[in-house]
Amino acid sequence: MRLIIAEKPSLARAIADALPGGSRREEGAIVCGESVVTWCLGHLLEQASPEVYDAADKQWRLDRLPIVPQRWKLTPRAKARGQLAIVRRLLKQAADVVHAGDPDREGQLLVQEVIEHCGYKGPVKRLLINDLNRPAVVRALSRLQDNADYQPLFQAAQARSRADWLYGINLSRAWTLTGRQAGHDGVLSVGRVQTPVLGLIVRRDNSIRDFVPHLFYPLWVELAVKSGQLRAWWVPGESQPLDDQGRLIDRSPADQLAARLPGAEGVLKQLEQQEKRQAPPLPYSLSALQVDAARRYGVSAQAVLDSCQRLYEQHKLITYPRSDCRYLPEEHLAQAQRSLGGACASDNTLGEWLAGADFSLRSKAWNDKKVSAHHALAPSGKAPDFSTLSATDANVFRLITRNMLAQFYRPLRTFEVKAQFMVLDETFKARGQSVLDPGWKPLFTTRDETPPLPSLHEGETCKALDAGVEERETRPPEPFTDASLINAMMNIGRYVQDPAVRRTLKESDGLGTEATRAGILETLVMRGYLVRQGKALRATQLGSALIAALPSAVSTPERTALWEQRLRAISERQDDADAFQHALLDDLRALLSQSDAGKLKQSLRTAQGEAATPAKRAGKPSTGKPRKSYAKRKSSGGKRKTTART
């Protein structure tokens, strides 16, 4: 009997459907002739707890750290014991085994560790599937490889799993025990991913708390040109008093220039005109969907994940949702019109968008080379019954379907103009945009971002009709929300200085994974490190104190990048897993030596004091409107945005 072990039930069903002959369901498996397909439920096994290695470690003690297993052990996850028993029984009957985990590092680990844990010693083949369509699965079944070829990938994943255990167990125990000495009664959890995420929020909150606003003074001029009027903005020279963003911080030069401008003549010194084409946004990965849904509907990342799971498992309306990919297999293109027809069948808005789609178009979304372990989220083709969907589920489904529909719309075409005028030997800039073809844009918004400018010609003269100075106030950074924090985790390289580290973080998809990011946020809330204030995520006193007390290396994302570099090298046979662990232990011992009850006690006191102190503000709170405008005559321009952020 050939036993095929899939990573999850949905993959097992797709494999069974692609095998020749009929099939019948059994508990935890599908029998297909001479083959049996079974599955894991994600990880069936987990790293054993410290007391499994030594009963003395059931009690938390600083003098027992670091805890380092000499021979690593795995134990069944509580909710997976039944399925693990089924897989174990089938392995005892198998003549050969096919490993059908996802084609990535974690997929290699979670099936292979079950095979090894159950003591199977026979031959193992590797089945690589990233497209659940039957023809693609049939092709993959005809191209089985030797699982031994993927041993380095397994070793890298195993090294990551063990390193996370060593890091989390030892640092959490160290700072929890240190916290008790400092008077804090509770667990202080530390992790390679969750702690840098908390660090992001604490540093943002500190920036907001310490922010001191200042005034700045933009100067506008209303210019008459041959074909109409436009508003341009002064670009102060370096000799003027400017802040680090190039904004004028002394009003008097602006007032003096504004008084001289009306009636002055000038010339259009430089003109840039360019037609731009913008392709439609790609179909969603889970994180990209979480960002958009949080921005549009104010739902948490976890709520979006839960909604996707219902749409996938219960309603069968979308494809597998925990994907980090925004591309689709080329083979899916031929089925897109049918699947979108079903998805849009019972919704007026989706139906209107479907009617405008041109299925002769092909966007860059269809690309086999960019499909990873899973493809982008897409509607399955089943017609939804919106009466059975919650409001959140319906909104999430519409977003997924909309992004898929957008692939069959023309690109957005705009005509963008940048103009630079010289008046009284000073530079003024204006910009505008005209929409030549809205293409996919109406599916997303009907707003025009930048109004158009009148027709312009380089070298033409202009005349200043009016001028004014606005008083604006800088604003602090916005607190993180679910949307902006998920986006930050996806693009964590933006928050590091070292170019090499930034590049590695970009290549490794940032902090966390599609499957874990929402859970990390909820864990930080559950553990009392974060609190939700409306849409905002803010650090609690405890969260702020923990980050202040930890070594900075623990609360910044650089370690993830350094680990990722070595893990990638292990998977490519260029590094050794044992050497990686030895280096980690040296690092871990250095970090443990920095646990300091006095520092933690002080950081707790400081956090409590700061929570009781209002944020520093310069002058009155800004209303977001100009306080005063100096103008020789009434401006003919419309409203202008009057706030800025540093």
Residue 249 falls within a domain, yes or no?
yes
Among 408, 424, 440, which residue terminates a domain?
408
Of 488, 102, 444, nearest in space to 301 by CA: 488
Residue 507 falls within a domain, yes or no?
yes
Residue 106 falls within a domain, yes or no?
yes
Q: Is 518 helix (H, G, I), strand (E, B) or coil?
A: helix
pLDDT exceeding 70 applies to what percent of the chain? 93
pLDDT of residue 639: 35
Answer yes or no: is pLDDT of 24 > 50: yes
Q: Same structural domain for residues 19 and 138?
A: yes
Q: Which domain holds residue 572?
A: 164-210+477-612
Among 112, 143, 174, which residue terminates a domain?
143
Active-site residue set: 320
Residue 316 falls within a domain, yes or no?
yes
What gap in Å lies between CA 587 and CA 584, rounded to an integer? Answer: 5
Q: How many domains does the chain have?
A: 4
Q: Pairing between strand 2-6 and 35-39?
A: parallel
For residue 342, give the CATH number of its domain.
Answer: 1.10.290.10
Question: Mean pLDDT in the chain?
Answer: 90
CB atoms within 10 A of CB 264: 17
Q: Same structural domain for residues 199 and 267?
A: no
Residue 641 falls within a domain, yes or no?
no
For residue 188, give the CATH number of its domain.
Answer: 1.10.460.10
CB 555 within 8 A of CB 547: yes
User: What would the mean pLDDT of 217-245 be, rounded to a whole number?
Assistant: 96
Q: Same structural domain for residues 190 and 241?
A: no
User: What would the mean pLDDT of 227-251 be, rounded to a whole number?
Assistant: 96
Q: Same structural domain for residues 192 and 300?
A: no
pLDDT exceeding 90 applies to what percent of the chain? 80
Q: Same structural domain for residues 419 and 275?
A: yes
Q: Same structural domain for residues 461 and 484?
A: no
CB atoms within 10 A of CB 575: 20
Q: Which of 7-21, 234-248, 422-436, 552-566 has the lowest mean pLDDT?
A: 552-566
Answer yes or no: is pLDDT of 86 > 80: yes
pLDDT of residue 457: 96
Phi, then psi, of 233 in degrees rounded to 5:
-120, 140
For residue 462, give the CATH number of its domain.
Answer: 2.70.20.10
Of 21, 35, 7, nearest in space to 115 by CA: 7
What gap in Å lies between CA 442 and CA 445, rounded to an integer? Answer: 5
Residue 155 falls within a domain, yes or no?
no
Answer yes or no: is pLDDT of 596 > 60: yes
Q: Pairing between strand 96-100 and 124-126?
A: parallel
Among 371, 393, 408, which residue terminates a domain?
408
Sign of torsion over alpha carbons 132, 135, 138, 143: negative
Residue 152 falls within a domain, yes or no?
no
Q: Same structural domain for residues 292 and 395?
A: yes
What is the tens place of the pLDDT at every residue in 620-640?
Answer: 333 333 344 434 433 333 333
Q: Same structural domain for residues 387 and 498?
A: no
User: What would the mean pLDDT of 599-618 be, rounded to a whole number?
Assistant: 68
Q: Same structural domain for residues 506 and 596?
A: yes
Q: Is 613 helix (H, G, I), strand (E, B) or coil?
A: coil
